[in-house]
Structure 1
Amino acid sequence: MAEILANALRFHVQRLPAAEVPASDGTEAGPGAPVVFLHGLVVDNLSSFYCPLAVPLARAGHEAVLYDLRGHGFSERPPSGYDSRSAVRDLFALLSALGLDARPVHLVGNSYGGTLALHAALARPDRVAGLTLLEPPLSGPWVENMVDTLSVAALSLEDSQVPAELSSLRLRKAAKLTAIADALLNRTTLIDDIAAGRGFTPADYARIDCPVLVVCGEHSELVPGAAELARHTPRCTLRILPGLGHDVLKEASGVLREALLAHAAAVSRAGTGALIV
Structure 2
Amino acid sequence: MADILANSLRFHVQRLRAPQAGGDPGVTTVFMHGLVVDNLSSFYCTLAVPAARAGHDVVLYDLRGHGRTERPPTGYDIATAVRDLTTLLAALGLDDRPVQLIGNSYGGTLALHTALARPDLVAGLILIEAPLSGPWIENMLDTLSVAAIGLEGSRVPSELASIGARKAARLTATADELLNRTTLIDDIAAGRPFTADDFAEVRCPVLAVCGEHSELVPGARELARHAPHSTVRVLPGLGHDVLQGGTAELREAVLAWLGQAVRQQFEAVTV
Q: Any residues of structure 2 matched to 1:89-100 within 5 Å, and which?
A: 89-100=83-94
Deviation at 1:32, TM superposition (A): 1.8
What is the deviation of 1:204?
Answer: 1.1
TM score, norm. by length of structure 1: 0.95
The 3-state SS of whatever aligns with 1:181 is helix
Which of 176, 183, 188 is equivalent to 2:177? 183
Note the 1:146-225 alignment, pairs <5 A.
Answer: 146-225=140-219
The number of aligned residues is 268
Residue 53 (structure 1) aligned with residue 47 (structure 2): yes
Measured against aligned partners, the alpha-carbon deviations of 1:156-198 in whole angstroms (never above 9, x if no partner) come to 0000000000000100000000000000000000000010111
| Structure-2 separation of matches of 1:174 and 1:270 | 43
Deviation digits for residues 230-249 of structure 1, max 9, x if unmatched?
A: 11111111000111101100
SS where residue 126 of structure 2 aligns? strand
Q: 1:111 aligns with which of 101, 105, 110?
A: 105
Unaligned runs of 5+ in 1: 22-27
> Is the partner of 2:75 in helix, strand or coil?
coil
Q: Is the 8 A contact 2:17 2:52 kept in 1?
A: yes
CA distance in 2, matches of 1:196, 1:215: 26
Deviation at 1:33, TM superposition (A): 1.6
Q: Which of 177-186 and 97-106 deviates more?
A: 97-106
| SS of equivalent residue, structure 1 residue 221 | coil
Equivalent positions of 1:1-277 (< 5 A) are: 1-21=1-21, 28-273=22-267
Shift of 1:19: 3.1
Q: Distance in 1 between matches of 2:232 and 2:145?
A: 31
Distance 1:272 1:192 in 2: 44
- Look up the SS of the partner of 1:106 in the other structure: strand
Q: Which moved more, 1:204-213 or 1:76-85?
A: 204-213
Deviation of 1:268 (Å): 2.5
> Hey, what's the Cα distance between the residues in 1 that align with 2:77 and 2:215?
23
Code of the residue aligned with 2:113 in structure 1: it is: H
Partner Cα distance (1:268, 1:172) in 2? 41
In 1, are the aligned partners of 2:24 and 2:262 still within 8 Å (CA)? no
Gaps of 5+ in 2: none
Specify the code of the residue in structure 2 equivalent to 1:45: N
Deviation of residue 20 (structure 1)? 1.1
- Is the contact made by 2:39 and 2:62 (CA closer than 8 Å) also made in structure 1? yes
CA distance in structure 1 between the aligned counterparts of 2:33 and 2:11, rounded to whole angstroms: 14
Structure 2 match to 1:24: none
SS in 1 for 2:55: coil
CA contact (8 A) 1:43 1:180 kept: yes
Q: Give aligned-pair identity as a percent.
A: 71
Query: Using the alignment, how far apart are the partners of 2:156 and 2:84 within structure 1?
Result: 31
TM-score w.r.t. length of structure 2:
0.97
CA offset at residue 30 of structure 1? 3.2
Per mean C-alpha deviation after superposition, the further-off stretch among 204-213 and 129-138 is 204-213
- TM-superposed deviation, 1:46: 0.1
Counterparts of 1:35 and 1:83 in 2: how far apart (Å)? 23
Q: Does structure 2 conserve the Cα–Cα contact (< 8 Å) formed by 1:36 and 1:105?
A: yes
- Give CA deviations for 1:240-272 in whole Å, capped at 9, x if unaligned: 011110110000111111100000111232334
